[in-house]
């Protein structure tokens, strides 16, 4: 198969890996009301379990990025999927909150590799003007995973119990692994030049812009990923079956943001816009949508709150889709894994801080301060990105 045709096979494989990644990740979130009752957890204790995932996820982003650069995408992705699938299945045997925390930690170690791996696949197989759309296809696996996870996990739990649910969702990764080993092939990358190997990543202000933007902005996504079922149950009075029936709708909007943000950037580039200007326009649009988080707190009904959540999630996916493309726009493929890993590490640090903070604030006050903060903080992250990355000279890669 010609490389220009094979790239769609490569991105399809990454899409399905991401889809399974999020089903495995969300099983605890969707079953949070059941797990909290079974283990007698407060909001802060539940947040602590989620934070163990984020601690490992944060550390593993940077390590996975460098590992993929060293051993290759095919072997790196295989290792990540094996680790996270075994960890997902191990949740079924957790007999205490501590054991559940250990499972979440190992899950985070494996799942983080999906992102630098996807960035390397896209940098290897897609030209610059198609990378944001390819990133959108990959990121749409996030949204589809969320859409499918809610009704699937609730149905499995209702029919078979929460332990069997973890065993089923965890086994999906091994089905994907068989297809990955059979169909994915590496595309040899050019050997890095001497100046590429010696230049420190943290000496480049453009990288600092990406890192700080992810630090401040990704917590807006993790807020809904981790807390939306509990928010809808506790603040809006929805039952688990109602959550399963309606809470997937914002993820449809997220999917539209992922694909639409990539398509819009590609459309602008095709019409003569500079790559940096196209990325900046879509990033600003996404930040404006995320600022609508403040309206969720005052929404008169659960349906209106879900509609505003959909706007925010649409905006985040359009935003992150283009931010995640910046490393492959600006640097050769030999550095993409490491830079993407740094961005993921920063996102994890911000999400750890926000997740613990949310648990503390909700236990003592309400969700309102959290939702207002989620409107402001992404604007800070976007401002830092514009000041550090886009204000610096862009030497765009010719992919």
Domain ranges within the chain, ordered by starting residue: 3-184+202-390
Q: Name residues whose C-beta falls within 8 Å of residue 200's C-beta, 6 or more positions apart in sequence.
A: none
* Residues 6+ positions from 130 with CB-CB distance below 8 Å: 266
Winning range, highest mean pLDDT, from 117-126, 173-182, 266-275? 173-182
Question: What average pLDDT does the segment 137-147 reach?
Answer: 78
Residue with tokens 């994890």: 348
Query: What is the rounded distance in angstroms from the CA atom of residue 324 to the CA atom of residue 116?
Result: 9
Question: What is the per-residue pLDDT for 1?
Answer: 59
User: What pLDDT is recorded for position 356?
Assistant: 77
Q: What is the largest CA-CA distance in the chain?
A: 60
Mean pLDDT for all residues in the chain = 84
pLDDT computed for residue 84 by the predictor: 94
Distance CA 35, CA 45 (A): 11
Query: Do the beta carbons of residue 140 and residue 259 sit within 8 Å?
Result: yes
pLDDT tens digits along 90-123: 999 988 888 889 999 999 999 988 988 888 888 8
Distances (CA, A) of 320 to 72, 214, 298: 24, 8, 26
Would you state the pLDDT for residue 398? 40
* Dihedral angle of Cα 121, 122, 123, 126, to the nearest 10 degrees: 120
Q: How many CA atoms lie within 13 A of 67 on its CB side?
A: 21
Beta-carbon-side half-sphere exposure of residue 285 (alpha carbons within 13 Å): 18
CA distances, 221 to each of 11, 264, 306 (Å): 23, 21, 14
DSSP H or E segment with residue 119 = helix 114-125
For the stretch 21-73, pLDDT in tens is 989 988 887 887 788 888 887 777 777 887 888 789 888 877 887 888 788 88
Contact present, 68 and 116 (Cβ < 8 Å): yes
Q: Is the pLDDT assigned to residue 196 strictly greater than 50?
A: no
Rounded average pLDDT over 276-282: 92
Q: Report pLDDT for 318.
A: 92
CATH 3.30.870.10 assigned to domain 3-184+202-390? The reply is: no
pLDDT of residue 140: 80
| Residues 329-371 pLDDT 10s | 877 766 777 787 788 788 878 888 887 788 788 888 888 899 9
Angstrom distances, CA of residue 259 to CA of 4, 301, 343? 20, 29, 21
3 state DSSP class of 170: helix
- What pLDDT is attached to residue 384? 94
Lowest-confidence region among 234-243, 267-276, 305-314: 234-243
Q: Is 185 exposed, middle or buried (0-12, 13-18, 19+ CB in 10 A)?
A: exposed
Residue 195 has pLDDT above 50, yes or no: no
Q: Is the pLDDT of residue 129 over 90?
A: no
Provide the pLDDT confidence category of residue 396 given band limits of 50, 70 and 90. Answer: very low
- pLDDT above 70 for 394: no
């Amino acid at each position: 198969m010609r490389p220009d045709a094979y790239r769609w096979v490569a991105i399809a494989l990454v899409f399905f890996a991401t889809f399974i990644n999020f089903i495995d990740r969300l099983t605890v979130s969707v079953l949070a009301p059941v797990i909290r009752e079974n283990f007698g957890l407060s909001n802060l204790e539940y947040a602590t379990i989620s934070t163990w995932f984020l601690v490992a996820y944060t550390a593993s982003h940077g390590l996975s990025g460098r590992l993929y650069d060293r051993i290759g995408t095919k072997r790196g992705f295989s290792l990540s999927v094996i680790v996270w699938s075994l960890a997902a299945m191990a949740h079924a045997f957790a007999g205490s909150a501590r054991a559940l925390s250990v499972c979440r930690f190992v899950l985070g170690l494996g799942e983080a590799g999906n992102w630098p791996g996807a960035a390397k696949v896209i940098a290897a197989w897609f030209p610059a003007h198609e990378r944001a759309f390819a990133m959108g296809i990959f990121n749409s696996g996030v949204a589809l995973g969320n859409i499918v996870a809610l009704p699937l996990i609730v149905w499995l739990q209702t029919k078979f119990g929460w332990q069997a649910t973890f065993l089923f969702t965890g086994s999906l990764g091994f089905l994907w692994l068989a297809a990955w080993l059979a169909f994915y092939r590496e595309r040899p990358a050019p050997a890095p030049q001497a100046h590429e190997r010696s230049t420190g990543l943290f000496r480049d202000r453009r990288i600092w812009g990406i890192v700080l933007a992810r630090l401040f902005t990704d917590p807006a996504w993790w807020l809904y990923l981790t807390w939306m079922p509990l928010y809808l149950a506790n603040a809006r009075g929805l039952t688990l079956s109602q959550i399963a029936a309606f809470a997937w709708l914002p993820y449809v909007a997220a999917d539209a943001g992922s694909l639409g943000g990539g398509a819009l950037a590609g459309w602008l580039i095709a019409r003569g816009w500079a790559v940096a200007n196209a990325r900046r326009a879509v990033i600003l649009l996404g930040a404006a949508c995320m600022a609508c988080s403040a309206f969720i707190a005052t929404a008169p009904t659960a349906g209106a709150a879900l509609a505003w959540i959909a706007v925010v999630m649409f905006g985040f996916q359009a935003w992150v889709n283009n931010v995640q493309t910046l490393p492959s726009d600006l640097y050769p493929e030999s550095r993409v894994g490491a830079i993407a890993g740094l961005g993921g590490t920063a996102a994890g640090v911000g999400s750890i801080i926000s997740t613990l903070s949310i648990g503390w604030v909700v236990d003592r006050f309400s969700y309102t301060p959290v939702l207002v903060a989620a409107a402001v903080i992404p604007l800070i992250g976007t401002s830092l990105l514009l000041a550090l990355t886009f204000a610096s000279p862009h030497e765009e890669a010719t992919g």
